[in-house]
Structure 1
Amino acid sequence: MSEKTDTGPGQLPMVEGSMYGATAYLTSYLATFLLVAIFEGKRFVGDLIEGAGWIFYNAQFVGIEQRAPPGSEGTVDVPSINYLTGTGLERVGTETIVLPAVVYHALPVLAFLGAGYFLTRSFGVTEIVTGAKVGGSIVFGIIFLSLGGAFIFEVADVLGPNRFQALALAGILYPVVCGATGGILSAWVESTR
């Protein structure tokens, strides 16, 4: 990293990574919400915020699962729902989405890729490995938001994003891979100037 910060070569920009990551998470969710409100709104009447959250998590391959109702013992053994792949839709009696699934899949990827790119660029990084580390540091701003979203996007404490998948896929894997890729791209662009 450049002399622009006081972080050493072995340290990650946690504060900046958190800010860029949180911004990317919120931006991609809000873009998903806007598209859901415009194109899929009839499917989620009354639950538009949760419905957009479900599609946002489905875009990162996090299933929507039914949990055992509060106060009941035992588990619910039903398949998870993914509006983008069509998994489990017969159970909820709805059709697939209107927009092509690739549009929703692209939103978090592009947001996290852009966050990693611009974060790394802000430090003037020219080394590929350092670029991957800096870009991947957006995970610090996303991990807690993605886990919190698994609770926020629940309906009546019985239907919501799978919490483990929300943490593993949407909270760690997607931001690290996409952010690091953006960081690598930024470092490569800076090194060729």
Structure 2
Amino acid sequence: MKETVRELGPAAGSGIGAYVLGYVFTYVLSGPAVEESSLNQIVEAVGDGGVAWKLVGWVFYNAHGVTTTIDIDIPFLGGTEVLNYIAQGDALSPVLYVLPPALLIAAGLFGARMADATDVGDALRTGGAVTAGYLPLAIAGAFLFTVAVDSSSGGPTLVPAIGLAGLVYPLVFGSIGGAIGATLANSGR
């Protein structure tokens, strides 16, 4: 298979779709709990209202295994805390951990099927091309989902947000989806 933009474009586009759908599904599954959370209430009370969508972004990155880093700059009370709200809270379902892999596998499968990849090696490369769409959004999201109040801030931990959520997840799970797509194409012959 000759790799061209036309052949890899659907995989990159499906990476964009996987990221967007992952955030939307995370919002649907965790939005009400996040809006009622004490953290949301505190941030809105201090003056940065309407941040629940950013806090859902934290949960979305937590679903990738990326922690949230909160830096509180208050004398004698402040400090840095690293959290994973899914792992540490009872209000959020562990099912959220399944969303990114499932969507990325589907994206890789779609990309491989659109490129008519029947060779597993080609399908792995095509599935890995999901990263081309997912990585830029993972980088942008790491900054977009940052909440700053006065000199305190919180958001996805930057290096894992880029390395784990932006690179490792789409490469691994997109490639798995691509391999599944090639296997299905070969079994249909």
Task: Please give the per-residue CA displacement for 1:153-177, whole angstroms capped at 9, x wherever unaligned.
Answer: 1111711001111100000000010
On the 8 A contact 2:34/2:52 being kept in 1, the answer is no
The residue correspondences of 1:44-193 to structure 2 (distance < 5 A) are 44=40, 46-67=50-71, 78-86=80-88, 96-101=89-94, 103-156=95-148, 158-193=153-188
Root-mean-square deviation (CA, aligned residues, Å) is 2.2
The structure-2 alpha-carbon separation of the partners of 1:12 and 1:59, relative to structure 1 and needing over 3 Å to count, comes to: farther
Higher helix share: 2
On the 8 A contact 1:12/1:133 being kept in 2, the answer is no
The Cα shift of 1:9 comes to 4.8
TM-score normalised to structure 2 length: 0.82
The Cα shift of 1:13 comes to 4.2
Task: Please give the per-residue CA displacement for 1:167-193, whole angstroms capped at 9, x wherever unaligned.
Answer: 000000000100000000010110111
Identity %: 29
Distance 1:20 1:165 in 2: 22
Distance 2:114 2:181 in 1: 10
Between Structure 1 and Structure 2, how many residues are aligned?
171
The Cα shift of 1:67 comes to 4.0
On the 8 A contact 1:116/1:135 being kept in 2, the answer is yes
Higher strand share: 2
Q: Which amino acid aligns with 1:80?
A: V
Return 5+ residue gaps in structure 2 as ranges.
Answer: 42-49
Residue 31 (str. 1) matches residue 25 (str. 2): yes
Q: Which amino acid aligns with 1:151?
A: F
The Cα shift of 1:122 comes to 1.1
Distance 1:42 1:116 in 2: 35
Distance 1:26 1:9 in 2: 25
Return 5+ residue gaps in structure 1 as ranges.
Answer: 2-7, 70-75, 87-95
On the 8 A contact 2:15/2:130 being kept in 1, the answer is yes
Distance 2:3 2:27 in 1: 39
